[in-house]
A and B are shown apart, each in its own frame.
Chain A
Amino acid sequence: MQEYSVVGKRVPNVDSRVKVTGEATYVDDLVLPGMLVGKVLRSTVAHARIVSIDTSAAEKLPGVKAVVTGKDAPNVKVGWLRGSRDRLPLTRDKVRFIGEAIAAVAAMDEDTAEEALGLIKVQYEELPAVFDPVKAMKDGAPRIQDDAKNNIALERHWNYGDVEKGFRESDYVREDTFYTPSFLCGYMEPNAAVAQWDANGKLTTWVSSQAPFFLRRELSLLYSIPQGKVRVINRFVGGGFGGKCEICDVHVSASLLARKAGRPVKVVYTTEDEFAVQPRRIPSTMTLKTGVKKDGAIVAQTSSIVTDGGPYRSVGGVTIYNHGLANMIPYRIPNFKFDAFRVFTNNQVGMAKRGHGQIQMRYAVESQMDMIAEALGIDPVDIRLKNALKPGEVTVNGLRMRTSGLVEAIEGAARRSGWKQKRGKGRAQGRGIGISCGGFACGPKIASLTDSGAIIKVNEDAGIVVYTGASDIGQGSNTVVTQVVAEVLGIGPEEISVVTGDTDVTPFEPGTYGSRVSWYMCNAAIKAAEDLRRQIVEPVASKLEVKPEEIVLRNGGLYVGERRAMSFAEAVRAVQVSSEKGILIAKGTYYPPDVEWPDPANNYYGNIAGGYSFSAQIAEVEVDRETGQVKLLKVTAGDDIGYPLNEMLAEGQAEGSISMGQGETMYENIIVSNGRVMNPSLVDYKLPTVMDTPEMDVTHVITNEPGGPFGAKEVGEGFIVSIPGAIANAIHDATGVWIKELPITPEKIVKALEAKEKEGKS
């Protein structure tokens, strides 16, 4: 493993100190002079025409300063991408799901605002609703959006090779259908916004966002004002996991109310708001047909999915594209056909969550992989080794694997977990062990502008300030950027401070999603640091009468060979006082050189990212056959994250992924009945606790991805996608039953065991 002086080290998160002392402030902590409190009124019916909204009683309530409805908002639709702007920020004529924002109130205090909401009278004329996406696609189903026949919001079809021929040439073919429900992103800080308009018509809004620049764009479009008149400020962000990428009614209601009241307004979601409108993981029904040779080699696969997107397009085609992407990584599939639908229903809106669109498909593929292995009598580890993508391979849809440590990751995890001794031997004791693999694109290209930029300025005392647009939502981007810049400049990370989270100040950055930040932003910051190094080294070299290439920056100094010529600070000082180039400002921008937008005219072919991470995880469980209770005992995993920029943060991502994946596999589920969330509390929506957390053993395979910053790939999502399959397969090893629907609850296990027993008897 290559050694660097700062990169790869366990540098503590730069935000930790202020977070643990409570000094870090979040949106709800912000208080502005004259600020009002806003609350949002939500639809109580799933599909209806709004006949009338009577706000007069609310307006008369003492303490109420503004009431807004859809009519107060510009008649402009917002969304995440150009193709998905189909949503009025406050609905006008129709409601399409329970929880949709109808009106908002700003008052002197929260109690008054809440009371005022109760005084708003909405008269609905209910319309037939549809909650099952398959039924929604049938002729005659209630139509949810005027522009979508059969409620098909979006569809994607790929066809590579010849799947029918592939199935004919296969020795074994099977088809299974899997289902994954909707999951909460489950961040700690609720979505929130404070908005203020100044006398020049400039909107400033303090938010908790994964993508402040997207938010700025949408607000500028909504209010028809230039982006320069919208300033989005991110404070510390208490988690996101995909749920804080989009503009939502918290941002719109705060800014509308602030405009109408002429005073700053704060809106903070309650837990109930979060359950009503938090963008959540999209529910997915996936039918997989796979053909393999006797030795387990995949010959052909068809993957057909129907996803329940709720009544708006939201993140659009990305989710369904990602399902197909997850089919393509990490196994070789020579013939592949993909048919995917995002369907409108009157359920809540489906969006992105960590492992976006991919964790669902990995669960399906990995479960079926074990069914195939069992039918053919192949060890699950061996069938994965057989199909694993190797360095240099190009998938049928054009993804180029420059590096892949998957084989080593599988072998290492199998060895360390004692796979050979345990697999297939624990059923009598209720013990099971299962394996699953995955991978992830490092920052897929999903929008037209996905570049990153970084600016560095140098203080008079040679301290370094880095400006990036990246949102550190807890993952540690503010920390790794200090590491990569320090490494290039040969100084300590403590010499570097980072400025982020203000669209008026930093360069553009799309956002913290799609596992792109370290790859794009660090590459931009490295370029900026290299620019700065040049600006310092060139004048100093001529003074020292050496060539610039002869000067090496390390240990806080400039070295010529083994000789320390001067300290970094002395060099900076020398440049600052010597010439017209004294004000040191450097910049870097980055866009991966060989990445393509998947081409709709050509089967969505294209290398969507500069690199791909891999993971292999082995889960061990203990199952109580009588109650169905599952204990996740241990997860042994290997990953290929290229090179860990910060070992401590990489561990944090892996461990957090295991825990989050465990929750989705074993406990979590937003239960929706006729459009109503039946478990809108953290009592009945069960996130894993620390008492449920297994022992974890994670080891990296170092592959030094050529295009990655210091060889790094992504670490945030490739890990989580392989957890559900590992647990499901371990449960099968322990019990002999397959559960083809998440979450795998004790009740489902007991039912499956009972059914199996009956089958055995008859």
Chain B
Amino acid sequence: MRLPSFEYLEPKTIREACKLLAKYGPEARVLAGGTDLLPKMKSKEITPRYLIALKSIEGLDYIDYQPGKGLRIGALATLESVRNSPVVKERCPVLGETASLMASTQVRNLATVAGNICNAVPSADMAPPLMVLGAKLRVSSPGKGRLAPIQDFFQGPGQTALGAGEIVTEIVVPNPLPKSGSVYLKHTVRQAMDLALLGAATMVALDGKGACKDVRIALATAAPTPIRALRAEEVLRGKVIDDALLAEASAAAVEEARPRSSVRASESYRRKLVGVLVSRGIAQAMSRARAAGR
């Protein structure tokens, strides 16, 4: 299938990009790595008349850590650079691990983390770990910018909370809680180059006595958007987690998940996976939390 024709716009600044986006409205799309956008255009699912390239804006591909500000991932930082980044490995290893589970080297060299989030499909692998880490998205627009919690960002399949003329310029990941650990488990049929039949990110922070001080669970492909499993979290928060509680929490997650049947997997199988991955994920996050120094 052929790429439909479009006009390629090369703004030099974020402001200019936002203005173009505001001007052309639904006829325009932001182009990062294009690994989601271009296949959709080829299949004529969308046919934007304008593509606003972010590549022409300098300096957007950073991955940066500053003690006060946390980890900042620029809009053009690729999955491959996140995967290989020493500061990601040190501060939020789960993000690098997640990138390793995605696509292939060739695709990861093009694909961006921000693009994965803004594409907002239920199976976006970067969403669950960023959700359990409490990430925020820095959003620029022709007017005033804002910092949007990733929590409220996904509004439906392919739909985000971005308004007219808004562009995500960076993802801000706060410092992980003390004595906490996070993992992302992705269930696929194949061992590489496969989309998640189910993805589960878990974060557990322990208190001095080993009880669960805080916990977050986020799921991919378990609902029309990436979701938090809030009731499952409630079961665990403040308690000493044992096998019985883990079973109760994963049952709660199974119940609050809203997966659907597709050619890839049935609803009931996905529900089963929710239970398995949540329970395994919590157990693994706990052992990471125990091992974590601070």
Residues of chain A having any CB pair with chain B under 8 Å: 110-111, 114, 270, 272, 626-627, 629, 631, 666-667, 671, 678-679, 683-684, 686, 688-692, 745-747, 750-751
Q: B192 near A686 (CB under 8 angstroms)?
A: no
Least CB distance, A627 to chain B, in whole angstroms: 6
- Bound Cα distance from A626 to B274, whole angstroms: 11
Say what secondary structure dominates the interface of chain B.
loop
B264 on the A face (CB < 8 A): yes
A629-B187, A684-B263 are known contacts. Are A691 and B192 too (CB-CB below 8 A)?
yes
Q: A692 near B191 (CB under 8 angstroms)?
A: yes
Within B9-26, which residues are at the interface with A (CB < 8 Å)? Answer: none
Q: Which residue of chain A has its CB nearest to the CB of B265? A: A747
Q: B263 near A679 (CB under 8 angstroms)?
A: yes
A631-B191, A679-B263, A686-B194 are known contacts. Are A270 and B269 too (CB-CB below 8 A)?
no
- Bound Cα distance from A442 to B223, whole angstroms: 53
- Bound Cα distance from A689 to B107, whole angstroms: 15
A683-B195, A686-B189, A745-B189 are known contacts. Are A750 and B1 too (CB-CB below 8 A)?
no
B190 on the A face (CB < 8 A): yes
**Contacting B264 at CB < 8 Å: which of A272, A626, A684?**
A684
Q: B190 near A689 (CB under 8 angstroms)?
A: yes
B273 on the A face (CB < 8 A): yes
- Bound Cα distance from A684 to B190, whole angstroms: 11
A688-B190, A747-B269 are known contacts. Are A114 and B2 too (CB-CB below 8 A)?
yes
Question: Lowest 3 CB-CB distances: which A-B pairs, in order?
Answer: A691-B192, A747-B269, A691-B191
Within B248-294, which residues are at the interface with A (CB < 8 Å)? Answer: 263-266, 269, 272-273, 276-277
Q: Which residue of chain B has its CB nearest to the CB of A626? A: B276
Q: Known pairs A627-B277, A747-B269. 19 more at Cβ < 8 A?
A: A114-B1, A114-B2, A626-B272, A627-B272, A627-B276, A629-B189, A666-B189, A667-B190, A678-B263, A679-B263, A684-B264, A689-B191, A691-B190, A691-B191, A691-B193, A692-B190, A745-B189, A750-B269, A750-B272
A110 contact set on B, CB distance < 8 A: 2
Least CB distance, A642 to chain B, in whole angstroms: 35
B1 contact set on A, CB distance < 8 A: 114, 270, 272
**23 A-B pairs in the complex with CB atoms less than 8 angstroms apart:** A111-B5, A270-B1, A626-B272, A627-B276, A627-B277, A629-B187, A631-B191, A667-B190, A684-B264, A686-B189, A686-B190, A686-B194, A688-B190, A689-B190, A689-B192, A689-B193, A691-B192, A746-B187, A746-B269, A747-B266, A747-B269, A750-B269, A751-B269
Least CB distance, B269 to chain A, in whole angstroms: 4
Least CB distance, B98 to chain A, in whole angstroms: 17
Q: Which residue of chain A has its CB nearest to the CB of B279? A: A626
- Bound Cα distance from A751 to B266, whole angstroms: 11
Least CB distance, A537 to chain B, in whole angstroms: 56
B191 contact set on A, CB distance < 8 A: 631, 689, 691-692
Q: A746 near B189 (CB under 8 angstroms)?
A: yes
A690 contact set on B, CB distance < 8 A: 192
Q: Which residue of chain B has its CB nearest to the CB of A625? A: B276
B264 contact set on A, CB distance < 8 A: 684
Q: Which residue of chain B has its CB nearest to the CB of A673? A: B263
Q: Which residue of chain A has its CB nearest to the CB of B275? A: A626
Q: A627 near B273 (CB under 8 angstroms)?
A: yes
- Bound Cα distance from A679 to B192, whole angstroms: 18
A692 contact set on B, CB distance < 8 A: 190-192
Least CB distance, A669 to chain B, in whole angstroms: 9
Least CB distance, B250 to chain A, in whole angstroms: 11
- Bound Cα distance from A746 to B191, whole angstroms: 13
- Bound Cα distance from A667 to B2, whole angstroms: 28
**Contacting A111 at CB < 8 Å: which of B2, B263, B276?**
B2
Least CB distance, B220 to chain A, in whole angstroms: 15
- Bound Cα distance from A272 to B2, whole angstroms: 12
A627 contact set on B, CB distance < 8 A: 187, 272-273, 276-277
- Bound Cα distance from A130 to B190, whole angstroms: 33
Least CB distance, B261 to chain A, in whole angstroms: 11
A747 contact set on B, CB distance < 8 A: 265-266, 269
Q: Which residue of chain B has its CB nearest to the CB of A748? A: B269
Least CB distance, B262 to chain A, in whole angstroms: 9
- Bound Cα distance from A701 to B195, whole angstroms: 42
- Bound Cα distance from A161 to B5, whole angstroms: 68
- Bound Cα distance from A518 to B1, whole angstroms: 38
Q: Which residue of chain A has its CB nearest to the CB of B191? A: A691
A691 contact set on B, CB distance < 8 A: 190-193
Least CB distance, B37 to chain A, in whole angstroms: 15
A679-B263, A747-B266 are known contacts. Are A667 and B189 too (CB-CB below 8 A)?
yes
B276 contact set on A, CB distance < 8 A: 626-627
Least CB distance, A350 to chain B, in whole angstroms: 20
A272 contact set on B, CB distance < 8 A: 1
Least CB distance, A203 to chain B, in whole angstroms: 28
A746 contact set on B, CB distance < 8 A: 187, 189, 269
Least CB distance, A631 to chain B, in whole angstroms: 7
A631 contact set on B, CB distance < 8 A: 191
Within B182-201, which residues are at the interface with A (CB < 8 Å)? Answer: 187, 189-195
Q: Which residue of chain A has its CB nearest to the CB of B5? A: A111
Q: Which residue of chain A has its CB nearest to the CB of B277? A: A627
B190 contact set on A, CB distance < 8 A: 667, 686, 688-689, 691-692
Best-surrounded residue of B190, B192, B195, B276 (most CB of chain A within 10 A): B190
Q: Contact flags (1/0) for B72-102 with A, using CB distance below 8 Å?
A: 0000000000000000000000000000000
Least CB distance, B285 to chain A, in whole angstroms: 18
Least CB distance, B137 to chain A, in whole angstroms: 27
Within B211-260, which residues are at the interface with A (CB < 8 Å)? Answer: none
Least CB distance, A137 to chain B, in whole angstroms: 27
- Bound Cα distance from A750 to B265, whole angstroms: 12
Q: Which residue of chain A has its CB nearest to the CB of B195? A: A683
- Bound Cα distance from A104 to B263, whole angstroms: 31
Q: B263 near A671 (CB under 8 angstroms)?
A: yes
- Bound Cα distance from A228 to B101, whole angstroms: 56
Q: Which residue of chain B has its CB nearest to the CB of A747? A: B269
B269 contact set on A, CB distance < 8 A: 746-747, 750-751
- Bound Cα distance from A691 to B265, whole angstroms: 22
